[in-house]
């Protein structure tokens, strides 16, 4: 498939969004944009944004919409100009999707296809505890992140399903198998 793809990965913490986003970006020549990575970089760099979001990340709460929208605007616009993106972690609520649509709608930068990485909770917890990324990969914070996912992000799946732009992926298989299955599905759909 030619370039100009705008893909969104939706999945619970530990479902493999980051892992698969890197694969998709490489295979299709897209830019990988991770809201979580960008936020963590702000924290590590000690920027004003980093100081504003640090405690949200630590608790596993979503940071305020305006902050995420602000840090993503430029990278998303630039990625579209380069041929497309694979977004990992944004939008992750219906409100964020609607706001992004408002901004992007007329510019043609909005998501074309959402991929849902489906993984059972037990496996998510196993992966995150094994990874131990930092203060948000502890048992308590993982449990909270999973609650936030259920409450705030699961409705987003319905939002994309209604628009017929949702593709389900069984993410509970080895990394290479999941990547292969995503590539096959992306070749099949007409974007
Ligand atoms: P974010 O960084 O997006 O974290 P997350 O959604 O909790 O997901 P993770 O990054 O932990 O997991 P992943 O799905 O990327 O899986 P990965 O590939 O790493 O967000 C962090 C925080 O930022 C949020 O809590 C919030 O505070 C804030 N935030 C971010 N976006 C926001 C937004 N839009 N609005 C508001 N706030 C926002 O894999 C996990 C582990 O499993 C790795 O060790 C990996 O090697 C392993 N693994 C991956 N695939 C497999 C496989 N198939 N089999 C076995 N192991 C695997
Ligand atoms: Mg990630």
What does 27-59 look like in DSSP terms, one character per residue? HHT-EEEEHHHHHHHHHHHT-HHHHHHHHHHHH
Q: Is the CB of 49 under 6 A from ligand 1?
A: no
- As a whole number of angstroms, the distance between CA 103 and CA 166 comes to 21
Task: Tell me the average pLDDT across 164-180.
Answer: 96
Cα distances (angstroms) measured from residue 112 to each of 6, 35, 152: 5, 18, 21
Average pLDDT taken over every residue of the chain: 94
Q: Would you call 33 exposed, middle or buried from its count of C-beta atoms within 10 A (0-12, 13-18, 19+)?
A: buried
- As a whole number of angstroms, the distance between CA 14 and CA 32 comes to 17
Taking the CA of residue 149 as reference, the ligand 1 atom at the shortest distance is 6
Within 8 A by CB and 6+ apart from 43, the residues are: 50, 53, 54, 57
- Joined together, the tokens standing for residue 22 give 């890197």
The residue whose C-alpha atom lies closest to atom 5 belonging to ligand 1 is 13
Taking the CA of residue 137 as reference, the ligand 1 atom at the shortest distance is 11
Parallel/antiparallel/unpaired status of strands 84-88 and 31-34: parallel
pLDDT tens per residue across span 46-82: 999 999 999 999 999 999 999 999 999 999 999 999 9
- Joined together, the tokens standing for residue 21 give 């986003």
The closest alpha carbon to 129, from 120, 121, 138, belongs to: 138
| Amino acid 106: pLDDT | 64
| Amino acid 1: pLDDT | 44
Query: What does DSSP assign to residue 106?
Result: G
| Amino acid 3: pLDDT | 59
128-161 as b/e, with b when 16 or more CB fall inside 10 Å? beeeeeeebbbeebbebbbebbeebbeebbebbe
The residue whose C-alpha atom lies closest to atom 53 belonging to ligand 1 is 175
């Amino acid at each position: 498939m030619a370039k100009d793809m705008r893909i969104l990965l939706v999945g619970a913490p530990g479902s493999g969004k980051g892992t698969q986003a890197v694969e998709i970006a490489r295979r299709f020549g897209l830019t990988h944009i991770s809201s979580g990575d960008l936020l963590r970089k702000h924290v590590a760099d000690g920027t004003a944004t980093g100081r504003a979001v640090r405690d949200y990340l630590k608790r596993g709460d979503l940071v305020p919409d305006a902050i995420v929208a602000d840090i993503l605007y430029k990278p998303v616009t630039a990625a579209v100009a380069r041929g497309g993106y694979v977004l990992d972690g944004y939008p992750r609520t219906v409100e964020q999707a609607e706001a992004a649509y408002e901004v992007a709608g007329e510019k043609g930068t909005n998501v074309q296809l959402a991929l849902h990485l489906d993984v059972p909770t037990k496996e998510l917890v196993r992966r995150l505890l094994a990874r131990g990324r930092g203060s948000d990969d502890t048992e308590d914070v993982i449990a909270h992140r999973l609650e936030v996912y259920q409450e705030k992000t699961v409705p987003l799946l319905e939002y994309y399903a209604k628009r017929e732009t949702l593709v389900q992926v069984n993410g509970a298989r080895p990394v290479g198998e999941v990547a292969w299955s995503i590539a096959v599905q992306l070749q099949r759909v007409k974007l």
